[in-house]
């Protein structure tokens, strides 16, 4: 469903941050967080090359533990193959949008790696234009568009509040499709 980069602080609870990327020589360089480095190195060993230039982020879904863990499980089961994010969040945090070929580490709420996903399609559409097909591929609530709209409206409303914006049927949504390329074993 939703993604965010997690930064470690003195407080053990995850907090939102966009601190895992920096600009260098005109390009964006993504830093691989310490808590997933060993998992990432195992992935690179298995594929036989350095894939760090394709690293996008490490994240868990949603803004609460129960949903973060349940959604991660749906990815591992193959039921969830897409996620949606609010473009305004990326803009506010100067975070680049995902691109085809990006690699991300999905974690549970405790920041333990579950798998690595590869972005296969990215489309930015108004909230009200998210399709039934996308909702089905996102795999939540039986894949219905009605369920997708209900739960995402609630989440995006909370996100808008954090950003000081009003939710709208025209708010821009990043619809990202992905495939699992490396499950945790």
Average pLDDT, the chain: 87
The span from the CA of 64 to the CA of 172, in Å, is 23
89 vs 21, which has greater pLDDT?
A: 89
Q: What is the pLDDT of residue 29?
A: 54
> CATH assignment of 3-125+172-183?
3.10.400.10
Task: Give me the half-sphere count of Cα atoms (radius 13 Å) on the Cβ side of residue 120.
Answer: 11
Q: What is the mean pLDDT of residues 2-9?
A: 36
pLDDT > 90: percent of the chain: 81
Q: Global pTM? A: 0.83
**Domain edges within the chain:** 3-125+172-183
Beta bridge partners of 21: 30
Q: What is the pLDDT of residues 117-167, one digit of tens each?
A: 999 999 999 999 999 999 999 999 989 999 999 999 999 999 999 999 999
pLDDT digits 0-9 by tens, 86-110: 999 999 999 999 999 999 999 999 9
Q: How many whole angstroms separate alpha carbon 63 and alpha carbon 86?
A: 13
Place of tokens 């394709």: 54
What number of CA atoms fall less than 13 Å from residue 162's CA on the CB side? 16
Q: Which residues contact 127 (CB under 8 A, 6 or more apart)?
A: 152, 153, 156, 167, 168, 169, 170, 171, 172, 173
CB-based contact 170:127 (threshold 8 Å)? yes
Give me the residue label for tokens 């954090």: 162
pLDDT score recorded for residue 5: 37
């Amino acid at each position: 469903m939703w993604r965010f980069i997690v930064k470690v602080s003195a407080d053990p609870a995850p907090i939102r941050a966009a601190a895992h990327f920096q600009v260098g020589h005109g390009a964006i360089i993504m830093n691989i967080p310490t808590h997933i480095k060993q998992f990432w190195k195992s992935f690179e060993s298995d594929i036989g090359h350095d894939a760090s230039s394709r690293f996008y982020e490490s994240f868990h879904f949603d803004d609460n533990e129960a949903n973060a863990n349940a959604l991660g499980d749906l990815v591992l089961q193959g039921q969830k193959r897409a996620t949606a994010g609010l473009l305004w969040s990326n803009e506010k945090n100067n975070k680049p949008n995902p691109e085809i070929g990006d690699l991300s580490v999905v974690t549970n709420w405790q920041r333990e790696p579950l798998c690595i996903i590869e972005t296969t399609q990215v489309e930015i559409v108004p909230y009200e234009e998210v399709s039934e097909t996308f909702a089905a591929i996102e795999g939540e609530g039986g894949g219905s568009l009605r369920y997708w709209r209900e739960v995402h409206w609630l989440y995006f409303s909370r996100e808008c509040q954090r950003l000081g914006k009003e939710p709208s049927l025209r708010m821009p949504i990043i619809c990202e499709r992905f495939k699992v390329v490396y499950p945790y074993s």
